[in-house]
Structure 1
Amino acid sequence: MNKRHPSRIVFSIGGIFAAFVLLVIAFVISSLFVLNVSGNAANDLKLAAEKRAALNMIESEISDVAQRQSEVSWWDTTIVALSEGFDRVFFADAMLGWFPIEYGIDRSMLVSPDSKMLLHAKGELFTMRGEGEAFFAQVQDLVTHAQDKYMERRIEEAGAYRIEGDPVRDDPVLYAHDIRKIDGEIGIVIAQAIIPDGVMVLLDETPHVLVTFRPFTAQRIAEYGREIELKEFRVSLQPPASEMHLVTINSGYANKNVFISWNSVPPSNGIWARSLPALGAMLFVITLVMLGVTIAYARQVYRTRKAEARNRYLAEHDGLTQLPNRNRFDKALQTKIGEDHLGTCAVLCIDLDRFKPVNDTYGHHAGDEVLRTVARRIEEVIGDRGIVARLGGDEFIALLDDAADKDGIMMLCDSVIERISDKICFEDLELYVGASVGVAWWPDDAQTADMVIRSADQALYRAKELGRGRSMRADLMNKDAADDLVKIS
């Protein structure tokens, strides 16, 4: 009988042990490699999603300021106010009322065709000429650029001039914009020529220009960060000194860099924190190690995907009320018009009355509760007849299907106003707001999605002019406007 050589036994045991050690080392190295790759991938995915959210937020803000301004600068009524001896009361309503109170536009300026300042508003007051001229000096290049844009885009018809299409949404846009520092505050500046939106036309001359400035206040920046779930969200003309996530965008006309920065916890931290303890135990049980790594990786990927889904949801929904936002509403309206060539739909523009006093008196928590309650009540009244969206601030919009019964739609509008006007309980308070509604029908009042929204919006402002707390049909408003034009002529 042959005996096993002791050295061979030791060598075999050592070989098996070495193989086991090598296997464990290989497993540990491969596990660490997988963790590192997965952590970096998760970090990259989250950072890319955060960059998209930050860029979308700023682009949305620029578009929003331009859209708000165009409600005055793209309006026949404004042309009439300029042509009839400069109606100061009209511009006081717009520049001291709508802009600062409803749209958060802190400063605005009316500029004459010869580039002279006519009015300068800061907050809810017109300022002295010296302060207005200081503001004008900081935006004069945008005024000139806006006038040039108008002259390039205008169309002549029988010796008069007009602008075809939407000055805000059509490419190229009519307005000039920039992100710049005005008197120490960074914000969005919009300058646009004042043009008619209907039957009015302009003469062969340089147009008046309306300039608006909405600053990135600390409150507004904090709201941005909350909406897209980013900590320490900042907008600056200088790169941040600390180590922060950063994306650089072009300011606009001045072609300068604007730095958007924020802080966030990288997903890889969670991966390492959860996986390393498990990895120590997995040195003894390789199967459990692999299972743990797989679970940790799957969980992190799930969280990353969930964060992306959340960002996609936020891109089409309002974070406060959970209603669809303007983007989602525009898509629904375009789809409705594209699919239903034979049907009729109605657009309801809804604006709250007396919301700002509630918000200022009882605070933003009370204001937020009012907005959530109003959103829920509008949805309850509309039901399955259409969709309701929040445009921002205290503005809502609804799209109704099968809207041929106009009297029925107006009764529904009255129900919306009545339901909104019911008391709202917040803590130990009873809060009250009202509402005004403007209604336009497609295709009766407009042929395109943008124009039917604008018709409804104009009807809304007409309802407010008549005393608020009421609804107004676009077709009746247009008839009144036509009668007024006949009287003028």
Structure 2
Amino acid sequence: MAIRTAAVMIVLLFGAANYLVLDYAIERADSFVAETERTLVRNEFSHQIDQVVQYQSQISFWDKTFDELKDGMPGDAFVRDQIRDWMWADFGFSWMIFTTPGGEKVLGVHRGDKVSERKAREKLHWVSDLTLKAERAYREALSPDRGGWQVEGAKEDPDLLTPALPQIHVSGMRLIDRVMSIVVVQAVIPKSLYIPASRMQPTLLITVKPVSQKMLLNTERRLGVHDLGFTPIVTQEPGLVMTPVGADTYNPMVASWRPNMPGTFVWKSALPQIAMFVLVFAGVMLFVTLRFSALVKALQRSEAQNAFLARHDPLTGLKNRSGFDEEVRRAIRKGESRPFSILALDLDRFKAVNDRYGHAAGDAVLQTVARRFSERIGTLGSVVRLGGDEFSVLLTGAFSREALLDLAESLVRDAQTPIAHDGQLLAIGGSAGIAQFPDHGGSLHDVMVMADAALYAAKNGGRNRAVHAGDMGRDAVAEAGTARAA
């Protein structure tokens, strides 16, 4: 009896130990996956907010807008050409509101059409804290200069791949027209950053970019999460993971989704087998070994997948901006004086393909072009997709100007080759700009700026061509930079 009791106790203790260990491992796995997905979601929305800031700056940080506001609010021609036909049609800003800090003058544009002052002021009520912060940021950035005022310029960061902007904008996420939206507020200033004394009182520009269902679905696909949306911060629902996004303390909503939890799958598959294998000690030990091995592999695959998604573009499989930054830093660490080259590439007429044949055709074009570029570059360097129809190539080592031009022109021809999709031949083009380190800049930022200038020189020169930065004069560089800002 004592032996039987001891045997039963051993089996029970062994089973209990396995149960507790498995439960703890599953809890840790679920916690790890949830925390990783929180980081990915926060980073994704932060990237989207940065994009909206860049888009909005094309109006708020522009001489033409500053001059338009000299005598008051923008005129009908400006609203039609720059707000409706550009910012609304291209970027989808649902609201754009110009206002003085005290609200004496207000002009609102909703979905490309001017609205009454009353409606515009109603929207201003929901972002009043952001307008106050934007006004304060603007005034804190001013310093006396030449009888007027100078706005403090942006601090250059050599690792940034987008133009640095003066830090006078504020952003947040708000429920506007019952849709979660990205709100950006900034004082309108000229490119020179010089404000005449008579124009010190700023005009603020408020832009609202709705987070559409399509944007959420695209984010789901990129991050591999499910049921991504927004939920009140007080919501308590089992199985729902939430995280605040946008760093807006006045936003009562948080991002929420259904995480990829491995726990449910492991429980369903493991419990029946545990009940069977606890009867035989050796079988139980074998089961535990196999199950934990499978669990570790599942965690490794999950971690590898999340690490891959953080550094790669899910549509094309190419490295994204983060992966590109990492690749460049690795190349620079190998030797400060070791040369490298940057090829900036942009597809021509890609938007027309998207508009005419749909986003499935656009995705097919991006995937095919990415494959062609990767096959063309091979082991010479790395191809990255920076976003949209923008690509870049990093080549380490010394290359002659002629070799780089030949390679860039080959990539342009690869982009020009028609792509078969759904019984159609999709025709696009491409332009390329080339810059080399250290010939065209002493940092990554400088080389990227020169590559971008060469790219826009290629576009301005008729597209479907490659331009080397060394072939441009100062006037061409300045003109390309002005075209890019516009």
Interval of TM-score (by shorter of Structure 1 and Structure 2): 0.7 to 0.9
Q: Given that residues 34 and 241 in structure 2 are in contact (C-alpha distance below 8 angstroms), is that contact kept between their aligned partners in structure 1?
A: no
Match of 1:182 in 2: 176
Match for residue 196 of structure 2 among 193, 203, 215? 203
Residue 36 of structure 1: how far off its partner (Å): 1.8
Normalising by structure 1, report the TM-score: 0.81
Counterparts of residues 31-430 of structure 1 (less than 5 Å): 31-71=18-58, 73-74=60-61, 95-96=83-84, 99=87, 103=91, 105-109=93-97, 116-117=105-106, 120=109, 122=111, 125-130=112-117, 134-159=122-147, 161-166=150-155, 173-195=167-189, 201-204=194-197, 205-240=200-235, 242-249=237-244, 251-264=246-259, 266-337=261-332, 340-402=335-397, 405-406=400-401, 408-430=403-425
Higher deviation after alignment, 316-325 or 22-31? 22-31
Structure 1 residue matching 2:244: 3-state secondary structure: strand
Q: Matches of 2:99 and 2:405 in 1, distance apart?
A: 40
SS in 2 for 1:290: helix
Residues 240-285 of structure 1, C-alpha deviations (whole Å, 9 max, x = no match): 4643423232654553343121123532222222222222332332
Alpha carbons 1:194, 1:207 under 8 Å: kept? yes
Counterpart CA distance in 1 for 2:473 and 2:101 is: 31
**How far apart are the structure 1 equivalents of 2:401 and 2:211?**
42
Question: Over residues 352-391 of structure 1, what are the superposed CA-to-partner deviations in whole Å (9 max), with x where a residue is unaligned?
Answer: 2222332233332222111111112222333434322212
Q: Deviations over 1:33-83 (max 9, x none)?
A: 222222222222222222222222222222232234345545667667878
2-structure distance, mates of 1:92, 1:257:
35
> Mean alpha-carbon deviation: is it higher for 385-394 or for 181-190?
385-394
- What stretches of structure 2 of length at least 5 have no aligned partner? 482-486
Q: Deviations over 1:442-484 (max 9, x none)?
A: 4555544335434544554555456544445667374147689
- Work out the CA distance in 2 between the residues paired with 1:151 and 1:451: 30
Deviation at 1:310, TM superposition (A): 0.9
With 320-329 and 52-61 compared, the bigger mean Cα shift is at 52-61
In structure 2, C-alpha distance between the alignment counterparts of 1:471 and 1:96, rounded to whole Å = 33
Per-residue CA deviation, residues 115-165 of structure 1 (Å, 9 max, x unaligned), is 64567362xx34345565554554454344223213212455544514333
Deviation, structure 1 residue 303 = 0.8
- Whether contact under 8 Å (1:142, 1:253) holds in the other structure is no
Normalising by structure 2, we get a TM-score of 0.81
**Per-residue deviation, residues 421-442 of structure 1 (Å, max 9, x unmatched):** 2110113221112233344444
Per-residue CA shift, 1:320-351, capped at 9, x if unaligned?
11111111222333444565544554433333
**Matched AA of 2:137:** K
Confirm or deny: 8 A CA contact 1:99 1:105 kept in the other structure.
yes
Q: Report whether the alignment pairs 1:479 with 2:466.
A: no
Structure of higher CA gyration radius:
1
1:41 partner amino acid: R
Relative to structure 1, is the Cα distance of residues 448 and 109 closer, same or farther in structure 2, using a 3 angstrom cutoff?
A: farther
Note if 1:21 corresponds to 2:8. yes
In 1, Cα distance between the equivalents of 2:69 and 2:453?
19
Asked if the contact 2:345/2:431 (under 8 Å) is kept, the reply is yes
Preserved CA contact (<8 Å) 2:36 2:306: yes
Residues 187-220 of structure 1 show CA distances to partners (whole Å, capped at 9, x for unaligned) of 11122334556x6644342445444322211111
